[in-house]
Structures are given as structure tokens and as C-alpha cells.
Amino acid sequence: MSFPERVKIVEVGPRDGLQNEAVTVPAEIKVQLVEKLADAGLPVIECGAFVSPKWVPQMATSAQVFKQVEKRAGISYPMLVPNLKGLELALEAGVEEIALFAAASETFSQKNTNCSIAESIERFNAVIDAAQSEDLKIRGYISCVLGCPYEGKVSFDTVSMITQKLFDKGCYEVSLGDTIGVGTAGEARALIEILAKHAPVDKLAAHFHDTYGQALANIHAVMQCGVAVVDSSVAGLGGCPYAKGASGNVATEDVVYMLDGMGIETGVDMDRLLDAGRFISDFLGREPVSRAATALLRKRAG
């Protein structure tokens, strides 16, 4: 087993990171955050989600944010859509790439989207068909791949089934979410080894939360299996509104620090990434949830 020479980092802070914040973040702050992340060289920046503002009020300004962000060549700005209504709003905003999701747990699926896994597959099939007719790029997410807050262990066969369906429908990439951060390196590796029998590993992404401090170890493990795409959130922002106690995604600063130390290219400028994390953390009135950011900012301050 060997590590990839380059890893693509998908920055999910402006969406997954901010969606669970109690403090309302105005559109202009989100726009500045996205543009600072672009300054840092992040190749993919998830800007928001076209979801019901009743359930996720933090995402109510997503259309405004997307329209106001200065789009740069070579950077993708995907938006999450849960259903056909969300897709309609995305198209109105001029979105060119979307992300959609399903869960590997029946209970989580019901609590998150009010439908079963089978129903969620029917739903995303309809969204994918409509999005493809508009020539949109489509990325898939699967939640709870290494554990569910309600059911505990999940079936890797279920994860494999959903992964195959997303690829079969035309998703260019499938992101595997350890939504509550319970997975360990051995489990993460075992999942990839099972998925590799039927799915293209180079089109899988790791989306690991750091609730138990295992995210970096898990990323390290799956990279040895050929995974070369990592989702992360600047300053460690985020959580999951449907998974009590779950901390945010692994911090982008921590991922970049590890990859830089391994000699793996990311194209991300750490100093500018620190600026972006400091900016949003200052607005939220707290320190970055990133050990690398904390140490490097202290070193910078002298």
C-alpha cells in the first residue's frame, strides 16, 4: 500500500461547518469566508445548501451567498440539495454543481430526511435525473458509514449498495461520512476494502468527523487504500443537528498540516488558510477547533 502523491481537499466549512451554528452568520460574512478560502487555494468550496430554512435557518441565505461569491477559474462551488425543490432553487441561482445525500442507517434517514433508505434512493434518483438534464455535475454523500447515533454499528453492505447506486446514476464522486466520528482506522480501512470490490476507490472521498479524535488516523488509513479526496472544515467548524454531541468535521488546517508533513501535495497555502480560520472564528467569538491552527497562530504571534 502507498499514499497518493496529491490529495484534493473539499472544503465544507461554509455549509457543513456553519449549518449547525447557533450564531446567525450573515451572507456577507459567508461570502468573505468563501473568498478567503479561495485565496488559500482550496479547489472545492461547498458554499451552502438549498434546504428548508425552517429546519436549517443558517442556510437561508445560500442563494445570495452563491450569487455574490466571485467565481474563480479552477475552483468548484457545489451546493447541497436535498430534493427537487432544492434543485429548482439551485438552478435559479445558476449553480453548476450539486451534492446530494443518503444515509446508511434507517433511523438516521427517517430523522434526517423523514424517509426510509429506499425512499431516499428514489428521491435522489429523481434529483439526479433532473440535474443531468441540466448538465450539472453531481456529488453524492452517504451519512453514518461507520456508525449511527441511534442504531450503533451499520452494515457495510448497505454502504456498498448505496455507493453503487450513486455511481450507477452518474455521481462523479461519493463522499463517505462518519457523521458522529465513532470510526477507527481499522474500521475505515475495512470499509474501503469492501467498497473497492465494486466501486472506483479514486472516486471515493473521506468525510470524517473528529468526535473521538480519530479523524486524522482514519484519513491516514484510507489514503493507504487509494482514497485521495478529503472533506474538511476550516477551523473545525460544524457538527450534526441530528447527532447529539457530534463535533465538527476534521479541521482543514490539521489535514493540511499532516499532508504537508507527509510530502503530499494539496495546493493549499497554510498561511492564508489560517487567515480564513481566524476570520470566521473571530466572528463566532471563539478559538479555532484545530490544534494545528492554534499552534501555528501562536507561533505567528511570536
SS3 for the chain is CCCCCECEEEECHHHHHCCCCCCCCCHHHHHHHHHHHHHCCCCEECCEECCCCCCCHHHCCHHHHHHHCCCCCCCECCEECCCHHHHHHHHHHCCCEEEEEEECCHHHHHHHHCCCHHHHHHHHHHHHHHHHHCCCEEEEEEECCCCECCCECCCHHHHHHHHHHHHHCCCCEEEEEECCCCCCHHHHHHHHHHHCCCCCHHHEEEEEECCCCCHHHHHHHHHCCCCCEEEEEHHHCCCCCCCCCCCCECEHHHHHHHHHHHCCECCCCHHHHHHHHHHHHHHHCCCCCCHHHHHHHHHHHC
- Has residue 2 been placed in a domain? no
What pLDDT, on the 0 to 100 scale, is given for residue 1? 65
Of the listed ranges 182-186, 194-198, 242-246, the one predicted with least confidence: 242-246
- Has residue 153 been placed in a domain? yes
| pLDDT grade for 11, boundaries at 50, 70 and 90 | very high
Residue 13 confidence (pLDDT) above 90: yes
What pLDDT, on the 0 to 100 scale, is given for residue 131? 98
Residue 239 confidence (pLDDT) above 80: no
Percent of the chain predicted with pLDDT > 90: 89
| pLDDT grade for 46, boundaries at 50, 70 and 90 | very high
Residue 245 confidence (pLDDT) above 60: no
Residue 261 confidence (pLDDT) above 60: yes
Residue 172 confidence (pLDDT) above 60: yes
- Has residue 3 been placed in a domain? no
Of the listed ranges 68-82, 110-124, 271-285, the one predicted with least confidence: 110-124
Mean pLDDT across 172-197: 97
Residue 132 confidence (pLDDT) above 70: yes
What pLDDT, on the 0 to 100 scale, is given for residue 22? 83
Residue 98 confidence (pLDDT) above 60: yes
- Has residue 1 been placed in a domain? no
Residues designated catalytic: 240
- Has residue 106 been placed in a domain? yes
Domain range holding 179?
8-301
Residue 64 confidence (pLDDT) above 60: yes
What pLDDT, on the 0 to 100 scale, is given for residue 105? 95
Mean pLDDT across 25-53: 97
What pLDDT, on the 0 to 100 scale, is given for residue 270? 98
- Has residue 150 been placed in a domain? yes
CATH at 18: 3.20.20.70
- Has residue 128 been placed in a domain? yes
Q: For the chain, what is the domain count?
A: 1
- Has residue 287 been placed in a domain? yes
